[in-house]
Amino acid sequence: MSVFKDVDMAPPVAVFNLTARYKEDKDPAKVNLGVGAYRTDEGKPWVLPVVRTVESQMAADSTLDHEYLPIAGLKTFTEAATRLALGDDSPALLQNRAGGFQALSGTGALRLGIDFLSRFGKSKTVYVSDPTWPNHMAIGRDAHFTEIKKYRYWDDKTKALNIDGMLEDLRNAPEHSVVILHGCAHNPTGVDPKKEQWEQIAEVMAAKKLFPFFDIAYQGFATGDLDADASSVRLFVKKEFELFVSQSFSKNFGLYNERVGNLAIVTQDNDSLMRVQSQLEKLARPMWSNPPNHGARIVATTLNNPSLFAEWKEAIRTMSSRVISMRALLKQKLKQLNTPGSWDHITDQIGMFSYTGLTSKQVDFIIQKYHVYLMQDGRINMCAVTNSNCDHIAAAIHDAVT
């Protein structure tokens, strides 16, 4: 009898299951608005030209080898990534109390940081936004946080941020709880707090000694401006919080399968930073031992070279402006069809996703009748909308809500 006879079949991960169903679908008009990955207006994945350039330089460079990286990763990468999040003039960097630690993309950086806080933090309660990227809950659970709580975020009626609810929930949180905050381009809602609202959030969090853990998986994707997209993190650093930031280079470099991530750490002093980094090494060693080099080198080379950096910023603008124009187009098509309801939220929201407000039943209808695949909560990946498929998507939404 098998050792594994009592192992239950786990339900599939929703977003990957959706992609599998999409792949099996034979309909020529099918569209995948599920997984958060950028597509060109031809509906194709995009390797950024700067990535191609650096990869060919790397291939031709005979001095590069495949030796292990240090446990904490490629220093030129972690330093540049940390600067990218905190800003060159960050007080924490100037005072040597901020540093990075390479991890397996944003997910790995979150897991590493949350695991660390579970062992060394002052609380076993973690707060996530309602709704959030489902992996936040899973990571909290697997890192043995005893309580995974939600703070109010999205208001279904106004299709906007419920700032009062959010502040109230944070005010009622136990002291020292960890709070995961989306640095920009909130997933799935596409709704970010405004500057004054971030100020209010910081004020409540300081009063309750809550620990900010920023997840910034979309720097550059929200506004097209890397600095503007990191302003939430920088505000908290200026207010002298100790904090973690998980950074992903999946989206802004299109390096999804290379697993390029950084955990940026801001502490009160250099001594604390050294101790935290030393313990992170002890956590990473039995998990993945050393991080992968290829993607980290591409990012480090680009961030550390002014002309490659300029080229990358151009690519980010290309991606973010295409998304913004597709938001406008989809709204325009729905208006032309006289689809009931206001669709202003499509253009008000930012980043990769739009939280359409479609119900689960409407989603099923759209998938079945129109072969347009979207998440059950109504989230659509705006990057997969193109000039060619927008009519079809608008017709599907129109049909579902009328």
Write down how long the chain is: 402
Give whichever of 339 and 349 is closer to ligand PMP, judged by the CB atom.
349
Other CB atoms within a 10 A radius of the CB of residue 172 amount to 11
DSSP string, 146-171: SEEEEEE-EETTTTEE-HHHHHHHHH
Cβ 61 to ligand PMP, closest distance in Å? 26
DSSP string, 337-364: TT-SS--HHHHHS-SSEEE----HHHHH
Residues that bind ligand PMP (CB under 6 A): 36, 105-107, 133, 182, 187, 215, 217, 248, 250, 256, 261
Give whichever of 106 and 220 is closer to ligand PMP, judged by the CB atom.
106
Q: In whole angstroms, what is the distance from residue 232 CA to residue 244 CA?
A: 13
Cβ 185 to ligand PMP, closest distance in Å? 8
Alpha-carbon radius of gyration of the chain: 21
Integer distance in angstroms from the first to the last C-alpha of the chain? 55
Cβ 15 to ligand PMP, closest distance in Å? 8
Cβ 250 to ligand PMP, closest distance in Å? 4
Q: Which positions are annotated as active-site residues?
A: 133, 215, 251
Write the CA distances from 274 to 143, 263, 271, integer angstroms.
22, 14, 5
The phi, psi pair for 269, rounded to 5°, reads: -150, 170
Give whichever of 182 and 371 is closer to ligand PMP, judged by the CB atom.
182
Do 198 and 232 meet the contact criterion of CB atoms below 8 Å apart?
yes
Q: Which residues contact 134 (CB under 8 A, 6 or more apart)?
A: 14
Q: In whole angstroms, what is the distance from residue 169 CA to residue 149 CA?
A: 10
Cβ 186 to ligand PMP, closest distance in Å? 8
Do 81 and 100 meet the contact criterion of CB atoms below 8 Å apart?
yes
Cβ 399 to ligand PMP, closest distance in Å? 29
Other CB atoms within a 10 A radius of the CB of residue 355 amount to 23
List the structure tokens of 208: 């309750």
Residue corresponding to tokens 């700032």: 163
Give whichever of 250 and 301 is closer to ligand PMP, judged by the CB atom.
250
Q: In whole angstroms, what is the distance from residue 180 CA to residue 395 CA?
A: 37
Give whichever of 91 and 131 is closer to ligand PMP, judged by the CB atom.
131
Cβ 254 to ligand PMP, closest distance in Å? 11
Give whichever of 16 and 120 is closer to ligand PMP, judged by the CB atom.
16
Give whichever of 143 and 400 is closer to ligand PMP, judged by the CB atom.
143
Residue corresponding to tokens 């935290």: 276
Q: In whole angstroms, what is the distance from residue 402 CA to residue 331 CA?
A: 16
